[in-house]
Chain A
């Protein structure tokens, strides 16, 4: 029998809140975290809005030793990891170091750090490039730093699959827990809000150039015109269910019940995008029928043809308007590899509290045939949730969660 892998800790750093409960109360209220770029002067660029994490003072949370060697997104990831471990009440040395691993996702690595060092190289010379550049820019840096800080020496790695990575990293952690690992810290905390990152976003052609936070990022809306980039994400503590109960984990948020990743056919072939298949395989992996799923957290690209592809995939599996769909990321922007992980956190909290957070600001186009939760949060008893995330270039990932309450029920049935 395959082992049940559950989430026992959550750490969130988001444009709408530092810490899980601050983020979650903002998400339920539909409070907006998008505003003018403040991390650099974006006045001369075509896109000028971002979802930035505000009020974050790294020195308040991390030792001075780590500051010269970390990009901003690594600092955010380290703090999210600390909070997730504290939430799960993991004590140092228990489980053993070799049984604890780290699995993160990244889209670009420490771009802002890298940009500064490239500037030093070309304006001052090689002697002015930081020795820390050797790893601070790197995709795997968050995994490495989290591993070192917390003495987690078990199976570790990084997944790079653009925006799908926030789900793929969690799936990789689940695989490790079905092997030798006892506990995995997993998720994505990402962000490249600096000139170098910004021109990369612009070159991708999917970002909104509107200046009004109310209308800049509107997936499934007739006014959709691209997305607003954001920074942040979530780290989760994952454990095999029995091991979590044995060590006395304070709570089980839910189970990573099913997962699938697919890749789109080459453009121009006229073949269906592969997102529907990802949903179907993930449901099958979870042993879940579509009608068990009480909410879908959408990828929500806000590019009309991508919204169309996603809406078609959802309605093909569930039927038109048959399942509530939401995209709370309209209030945070798209967090690259952080997006899927933050949506997993939101989906777990949604099941815990029986409330679906709204898709802020959006007035959906009827022809998508989605039951999009807009305006206010919607009370709902949700036992299983589906989270979708896509990455540029053809990545599709789908992850099915079952609620902690369902776990309790199963345990009672087993008695």
Chain B
């Protein structure tokens, strides 16, 4: 699955599958620049998500924790 671009919808789906529905915010809304913490995802939820991204997109994200928002995470994956 190399050369595949990850969209915001892909990320929404993966977040739901790996870390469940966040508490406190609606994933379907405009979340591109919302902090993951405000979406209800803590560092371990992001670690779990990063592990899935590494498998599906053949990237090597060490710490997704550094990406604070969906936009930043998409940039990291799509730049790899």
Nearest chain-B residue to A128 (Cβ)? B55
Q: Does B47 contact A (CB under 8 A)?
A: yes
* Interchain CB contact under 8 A, B21 and A134: no
* Interchain CB contact under 8 A, B47 and A65: no
Q: In the complex, which residues 21-80 of chain B have their Cβ closer than 8 Å to any Cβ of chain A?
A: 21-23, 40, 44-45, 47-48, 51, 54-55
Q: In the complex, which residues 3-35 of chain B have their Cβ closer than 8 Å to any Cβ of chain A?
A: 16-23
* Interchain CB contact under 8 A, A65 and B18: no
* Interchain CB contact under 8 A, A131 and B48: yes
Nearest chain-B residue to A129 (Cβ)? B51
Q: Is the interface of A mostly helix, strand, loop or mixed?
A: helix
Query: Residue-by-residue, is A121-143 near B (CB-CB < 8 Å gives 1, otherwise 0)?
Result: 00000011111101000000000
* Interchain CB contact under 8 A, A64 and B18: no
User: Which of B16, B21, B22 is the most central at the interface, judged by chain A CB atoms within 10 Å of its CB?
Assistant: B21
Interface size class for chain B?
10 to 19
A63 touching B21 in the complex, CB below 8 Å, given contacts A127-B54, A127-B55, A128-B55: yes
Q: Is the interface of B mostly helix, strand, loop or mixed?
A: helix
* Interchain CB contact under 8 A, A68 and B55: no
Question: CA A66 – CA B23 in complex, angstroms?
Answer: 10
Q: Does A67 contact B (CB under 8 A)?
A: yes
Question: CA A67 – CA B44 in complex, angstroms?
Answer: 14
* Interchain CB contact under 8 A, A63 and B47: no
Question: Which residue of B17, B19, B51 is within 8 Å of A65 (Cβ)?
Answer: B19
A68 touching B20 in the complex, CB below 8 Å, given contacts A127-B55, A128-B55, A131-B51: yes
* Interchain CB contact under 8 A, A132 and B20: no
* Interchain CB contact under 8 A, A130 and B48: yes
Question: Which residue of A64, A127, A131 is within 8 Å of B44 (Cβ)?
Answer: A131
* Interchain CB contact under 8 A, A65 and B40: yes
* Interchain CB contact under 8 A, B20 and A63: yes
* Interchain CB contact under 8 A, B23 and A63: yes
Question: Which residue of B21, B40, B44 is within 8 Å of A132 (Cβ)?
Answer: B44
A64 touching B48 in the complex, CB below 8 Å, given contacts A127-B54, A127-B55, A128-B55: no
Nearest chain-B residue to A68 (Cβ)? B20
Question: CA A132 – CA B52 in complex, angstroms?
Answer: 13
* Interchain CB contact under 8 A, A65 and B54: no
* Interchain CB contact under 8 A, B21 and A64: yes
Q: In the complex, which residues 167-211 of chain A have their Cβ closer than 8 Å to any Cβ of chain B?
A: none
* Interchain CB contact under 8 A, A132 and B55: no
A68 touching B19 in the complex, CB below 8 Å, given contacts A130-B48, A131-B44: yes
* Interchain CB contact under 8 A, A68 and B23: no
Question: Which residue of A65, A69, A127 is within 8 Å of B22 (Cβ)?
Answer: A65
Nearest chain-B residue to A130 (Cβ)? B48
Contacts of B55 in A (CB 8 A): 127-128
Distance (Å) between the CB of A125 and the closest chain B CB? Answer: 9
Q: Could you list 14 examples of A-B contacts with CB < 8 Å? A: A63-B20, A63-B23, A64-B20, A65-B20, A65-B22, A68-B48, A69-B19, A127-B51, A127-B54, A128-B51, A128-B55, A130-B48, A131-B48, A131-B51
Chain A interface residues (CB < 8 Å from chain B): 63-69, 127-132, 134
Chain B interface residues (CB < 8 Å from chain A): 16-23, 40, 44-45, 47-48, 51, 54-55
- 11 additional A-B pairs beyond A63-B21, A63-B23, A68-B20, beta carbons within 8 Å, are A65-B19, A65-B20, A65-B21, A65-B40, A127-B54, A127-B55, A129-B51, A130-B51, A131-B48, A132-B44, A134-B44
Ranked 4 nearest A-B pairs via Cβ: A64-B21, A64-B20, A131-B48, A65-B20
